[in-house]
C-alpha cells in the first residue's frame, strides 16, 4: 500500500492510502489521485520511515529518560528511509529538503528532553 500526504501551505492536511497497483511510482499515484477528482498537491510518504533517537537513561529502576538526541531516520524493514518520517496530519513539509517534519508544538528532532 502506498501512502500520500496532501500538502497545503507546507502543512499536511490529509493522508490517504492508494493501492500499489495504482501507485507503482509517486507520479503514477499522483495521477491516480487526480483521476478520482481529488485536487491538491500530493506527496508520497512511507509508513515504514520513522525518526531514530539516542536515549540517555538514569540508574533508577525502572530507568527514566534523561535526554534524547535525534540520530536520523530509519526504515522499519531495513529499506531506505523516505522523506524523513511518515507524514501525519499537522506535520510540516520542508520543500527545500524534501522531508516531513513534526510541527513546532511537538519536540523537534534536535531538541534534548
Going residue by residue through the chain, which has 113 residues, state the pLDDT in tens, using 9 for 90 and above: 999 999 999 999 999 999 999 999 999 999 999 999 999 999 999 988 888 888 889 999 998 988 888 888 889 898 888 999 999 999 999 999 999 998 865 455 555 55
Domain boundaries, the chain: 2-101
Beta strands in the chain (DSSP E): 2-8, 11-18, 41-45, 49-57, 65-75, 92-94, 99-101
Q: Dihedral angle at the C-alpha atoms of 7, 96, 75, 107, nearest 10 degrees?
A: -80
Mapping DSSP to helix (H, G, I), strand (E, B) and coil, where does residue 33 land? helix
Distance (Å, whole) CA 113 – CA 38:
40
Amino acid at each position: 500500500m502506498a501512502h500520500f500526504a496532501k500538502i497545503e501551505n507546507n502543512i499536511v492536511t490529509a493522508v490517504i492510502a492508494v493501492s500499489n497497483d495504482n501507485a507503482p511510482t509517486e507520479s503514477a499515484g499522483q495521477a491516480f489521485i487526480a483521476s478520482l477528482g481529488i485536487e491538491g498537491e500530493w506527496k508520497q510518504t512511507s509508513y515504514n520511515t520513522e525518526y531514530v533517537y539516542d536515549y540517555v537513561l538514569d540508574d533508577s529502576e525502572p530507568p527514566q529518560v534523561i535526554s534524547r538526541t535525534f540520530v536520523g531516520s530509519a526504515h522499519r524493514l531495513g529499506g531506505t528511509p523516505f522523506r524523513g518520517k511518515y507524514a501525519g496530519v499537522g506535520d510540516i513539509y520542508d520543500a527545500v529538503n524534501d522531508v516531513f517534519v513534526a510541527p513546532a508544538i511537538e519536540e523537534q528532532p534536535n531538541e534534548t528532553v
